[in-house]
Amino acid sequence: MMNNYEQEIELYFELKNTPVSSRESYLRRIQAFINFIETHRHKSIEELTDSDIQQYILYLKKERSLSPGTINNYISGIKFFYTYVLQEEWNAQKIPRMRRVPKFPVIPSREDVWKLLNATTNLKHKAIFLLIYGSGLRVSEVARLKICDISSETMTVRVEYAKHNTTRYTILSVRALKVLRKYFRAYFGSADYKSDDWLFPGRDQDKHLNVKTIKNTFIKVRNKLNLSQNISAHTMRHCFATHALEDGADSVYIKEMLGHKHLQTTLSYLHMTSKSLMGVKSPLDTCKNRSRPK
């Protein structure tokens, strides 16, 4: 059934110049919704009602146990399909977005970060993890890097077509560059290559390394070290922001390097910093009164 609408949706994405990653997410979620309506509700899309959408959201919450943020992403996809493709009016009162409870990610200690990096012996994987942590990249961003995106002259990494369809520059770590050079000599030293080739090609040289491969490789290293299950490859990006704040980097610069749209998003990392490393002391330790507790 999705085939009947896919061409129309693709046309919209082309006209809007929507990033490929966003297109794939929308199509995947719309397809899942249509499958639910046809197989669980036993209806055609033309018979769709607000109640059907409500039941799907409850299904995502109770049966699939998805987080409010993920469910809201599904709602965005359904709303686009409902209003743009089906030309129906969206009732926000009956189909509200789910309230999100603030939840901060687990930030491993710097010692654990180094354990993860040092336990990664494969040069390719080590270079990838060093770039995520050393430059604050998303997993999808490091996967799509091209050779020309790395500049040892300016010590920068260019991130093209990132989230929100933007291009930005972030810092290149000296340590990451050393490993990158070793990796480059090992993988590209005797091969013909162009500057716009993928820096981390997959099995098919015409395609970049799969994002899932990076995530699964990280999980294997993490599990080998018996670290928290809440630590993922994306956590290394959080660590970049948190540790940079602890080291005194200006939040405005961190915002630009991470590619955040709003400064408030960057400032949320203040909740995850080690306050002692930022020079914040407890009044219990700074009290100069002679009668303080012993």
Q: Coil, strand or helix: which one is 276?
A: coil
Q: Coil, strand or helix: which one is 168?
A: strand
250-256 mean pLDDT: 90
Which top CATH class is 110-272? mainly alpha
CATH architecture of residue range(s) 3-85: Orthogonal Bundle (1.10)
Residue-averaged pLDDT of the chain: 89
Task: Inform me whether the pLDDT recorded for 1 exceeds 60.
Answer: no
Do the two domains 3-85 and 110-272 of this chain adopt the same fold?
A: no
Q: Where are the domains of the chain?
A: 3-85, 110-272
DSSP state string for 174-198: HHHHHHHHHHHHHHHTTS---TTSB
Q: Which amino acid is at 99?
A: R
Task: Inform me whether the pLDDT recorded for 291 exceeds 80.
Answer: no
Q: Which pLDDT score is estimated for 101?
A: 78
Task: Please enumerate in sequence order all residues whose Cβ is within 8 A of that of 207, keeping only pairs 6 or more positions apart, or say none.
Answer: 198, 201
pLDDT in tens, 17-43: 887 778 888 999 999 999 999 999 999
